[in-house]
Structure 1
Amino acid sequence: MKHPVISWALTSTVLAAAHGAPLAATPVVTTTSGTTPFAVSGIDLLQTSLAGAPVVVGQFTGYGTGGEAVLRDGNAGGAQATDYTGTALVVSDSTVTYTLDLGVSPQGYNITAIETFGAWDDGRDQQQISISYATVADPEAFITLTAYGFDPIGDFSRVRVTPGSGDAFLMQNVYAIRFSFPNQENSASGYRELDVFGVSAVPEPQRWGLLAAGLGLIGLWARRGAAARRTT
């Protein structure tokens, strides 16, 4: 009767070793203002590694702007803040959730940096964003990474979130990332792009060793159980 309990506990340990712990660094948030658009990435994870269409709640199309899709198109948008090409006007309390492609990276993704870009003439140019994430180990539970508010001096803004000193990743084994937009300036603010950078998560050698050892022990218990049944 004890064998199933031991096997279950051991199996749980093996799964944890395979997926890795949902580790997160202490983020460093750096803000920059500008009078011209900032360069954006054309190859970040939101452009190359999504599992499907994002889940959008709220409104990203105020004043006829481009909607959520322009936030991940690799386009910095119009040269003037009053040129709303490539801009999404995001209404307060809207959210967008991006699920990453586990078919390519079954262990999820280790995130190295996140950048958000804003642009509007004065009155809707503040960035108010909360970033959360879910891991492969618990895809339904979203964990807050950071939240920030930034009122730029110029009409263009960039906020960069990076790991603290000594950390290689912001978070590890990520399954999904959610951007929330609470309390936008004058009920809606303009955004140009969301960039998420990272790499496929690969179990560390010691985790592979634990996985192999765990599977070996499970096999040993199974063989002992079978032998015991044959002798009774």
Structure 2
Amino acid sequence: MVACTNIDSDDLDTDAMQPTINVRSTEGAAGSSVSVVLHVGDSPTTFVELQGDDTLTATAAEQTVTLEGHELLGVVEYNGNLDTDPAGDVVTVAFTRTEEGKESAPDSNVALTEPLALTAPAGGATASRAADLEIAWTSETSEDQVRVSWSGGCVEQGSRDVTAGSASLTLEGGSIVKREQGENEEEPVPDECDVSLTVSRSRSGTIDPGFGGGSISHTFSDSVTFASQP
């Protein structure tokens, strides 16, 4: 395991940072969550910890929230929640600095993508991994990419990208497969388990040019759990 390193923001210029900004909305839940991880350059294991008057805020529909920092296993992440989730609303994340010689990056933004909602399979249903699985969802018209993904205690994680504009997918029999027993597992992998199936749509936005790179995106998702058996 590679150790994580944290560097204080007051030791860095803004263009030495590359943020990963994720805005997420979920069917049936009000509002949207915002998370920001600031990397030093393109290092996946070196993170920025805000110091002094350096702040991250998120704004949408005249609401502004200050993102609060949390650290878990060396990863520093800044989080907050906005009340908005309608398609087309713009979320703007601002990195504000007041120290002389330190440039702010006030305008990383993304417009929220269109919502969707799963209609099949039904929650609590039972499905054979050997048979085709019909997946369907309702959706507004959108040009953004949709992905279907699945995970469970007895199956390998997997995903399938779907053509923009589609509202259904037939997952061929054998696409979801039983996972192999891990080296350190004492109990055999069961033949049947609950599988979480998620359909999500994502849209990329624009990172403030004051940063040295990075990404911002919005994802709208819906999930259902069903029993998977051979």
Higher-Rg member (1/2): 1
**Does the TM-score normalized on the shorter chain lie above 0.5?**
no
TM-score (norm 1): 0.25
Higher helix proportion: 1
Higher strand proportion: 2
TM-score (norm 2): 0.26
